[in-house]
């Protein structure tokens, strides 16, 4: 999941928010609408603004993003079919339909932050790199550490 796919809290409130995931990244290979409580959206926003931001700054300072195949998202278009417009390090420009972006493509999508490129991938490891889906299993120590960091007991 990318940061741009997380529903945002709105001033008018609401108990639940809807989000959408493209078919390419779901287990069933069908697009999915998901619903999340406002409390969880707030917790995810807190993660993005605190511990995630911290690991991104550390990764930037350590140069971890410098040699990655980065596609810097410059803007977004479309309402029903969201398109991410990007350019890579060589100046090549392109666009990717969010609903069709594969996991591998998603892991290369970045945005320009105040201190340099930042991953759009939501869940990051302690090193600031995207957590691969294979690491999300219950037996993965990395997944457990990330879950504790984001959602303490």
Domains of the chain: which residue ranges? 3-150
Evaluate if residue 139 carries a pLDDT over 70. Answer: no
Q: Are 61 and 48 in contact (CB under 8 A)?
A: no
Query: What predicted TM-score, i.e. pTM, was given to this entire model?
Result: 0.80
How far is it, in rounded angstroms, from Cα 121 to Cα 108?
A: 8
Evaluate if residue 153 carries a pLDDT over 80. Answer: no
How far is it, in rounded angstroms, from Cα 15 to Cα 118?
A: 30
Q: Is 57 left (phi over 0), alpha (psi -120 to 50) or beta?
A: alpha
Q: With residue 86 as reference, give the H or E element that holds it.
A: strand 83-88
pLDDT in tens, 6-42: 888 776 777 888 888 887 877 788 888 889 998 998 9
What pLDDT score does 133 carry?
Answer: 72
Rg, Å, the chain Cα set: 16
Retrieve residue 48's tokens: 């993005």
Evaluate if residue 138 carries a pLDDT over 60. Answer: no
């Amino acid at each position: 999941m990318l940061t741009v796919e997380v529903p945002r809290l709105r001033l008018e409130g609401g108990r639940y928010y809807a989000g959408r995931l493209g078919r390419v990244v779901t287990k069933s290979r069908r697009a999915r609408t998901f619903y999340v409580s406002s409390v969880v959206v707030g917790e995810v926003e807190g993660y993005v603004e605190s511990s995630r931001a911290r690991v991104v700054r550390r990764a930037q300072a350590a140069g971890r993003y410098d040699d990655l195949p980065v596609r810097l998202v410059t803007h977004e278009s479309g309402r029903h079919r969201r398109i991410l417009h990007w350019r890579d390090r060589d100046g090549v420009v392109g666009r990717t339909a969010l609903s069709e972006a594969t996991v591998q493509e998603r892991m290369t999508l970045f945005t320009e932050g105040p201190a340099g490129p930042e991953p759009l991938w939501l869940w990051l490891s302690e090193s600031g790199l995207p957590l691969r889906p294979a690491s999300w299993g219950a037996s993965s120590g990395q997944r457990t550490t990330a879950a504790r960091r984001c959602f303490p007991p």
